Amino acid sequence: MTIQPLLEIKDLYARVAAPGGREILKGVNLTINAGEVHAIMGKNGSGKSTLAQVLAGREAYEVTGGSVRYKGQDLLELSAEERAREGIFLAFQYPVEIPGVSTSYFLKAAVNAVRKHRGEPELQTKDFINLVKDKMKLLHMDPSFMNRAINEGFSGGEKKRNEIFQMAVMNPTLALMDETDSGLDVDALKTVAEGAASLRRDDNAILVVTHYERLLQYIVPDIVHIMLDGKILMTGDKALAAKVDTQGYDWVDRQARQVG
């Protein structure tokens, strides 16, 4: 019996959606099964964040070739909100501030959008409060977060914590964590990473996009990929991440030249 992969990316090409837009993804191949944690590492500009955003359905990028299948369906056919309702969650590298919309109100709307899509009854305020209570403890969040406008006036660390808190509440099938470690001090990193790691299950998967290895000490990946110039150059286990940590990315460039 073959198990259907959760996510299957084949020869994916994408460019900036503008006249003469730069090509960023140049033939990405990647398969993720349920229960796995993958890490994509790479230098700035390698295309790793773009990959996460293309998967989330950001219209700033245009897919020019290849295919993506998610839970057996054509992911590229789905709008950003349909993907979210199907369980894809992007933890943003730069979470957006939205004045005037309280975090609690927004999150309730989001949870209910997903529930509605699944044919489940909407959560009333009381049930919603019960749902978020535990998750707030997990992320060491002050309850006052909930009454504040989304990310408005939050510090960099607070914004990242808010992302993972939302991820915990939304309980995604495929979580895309885009540079979640950037801008975090050691304590905040530990809180955020442990929170994310606690969401690992047999029936979901996490894709961690990161420049550094330190986040991966808490969310230990099953498979590590290194991306360069819009392609996955090599794939290994967590030892690959350790090598990046000690040797940087220069050897990756050298190896790429040898291969090329």
68, 114, 164, 196: residue in contact with another protein (rule CB under 8 A): 114
116, 134, 201, 236: residue in contact with another protein (rule CB under 8 A): 116
Nearer to another protein, 117 or 238 (CB): 117
Q: Can you tell me the distance from the alpha carbon of 250 to that of 195, in angstroms, rounded to the nearest whole number?
A: 32
Judged by CB under 8 A, does residue 85 bind another protein? Answer: yes
Nearer to another protein, 60 or 220 (CB): 60
Q: Can you tell me the distance from the alpha carbon of 92 to that of 216, in angstroms, rounded to the nearest whole number?
A: 17
Task: Specify the stretch interacting with another protein by CB under 8 A; choose among 11-19, 21-29, 122-130, 179-187.
Answer: 122-130
Letters for 124-163 (x = contact with another protein by CB under 8 A, - = none) are: -xx--x--xx--x------x--xx--x-------------
Closest distance of CB 255 from another protein, Å? 35
Judged by CB under 8 A, does residue 105 bind another protein? Answer: yes
Q: In the window 20-59, what residues touch another protein (CB under 8 A)?
A: 56-59
Binding residues for another protein, rule: CB under 8 A, are 56-59, 79-81, 84-85, 89-90, 92, 95-102, 104-110, 112-114, 116-117, 122, 125-126, 129, 132-133, 136, 143, 146-147, 150, 166, 170
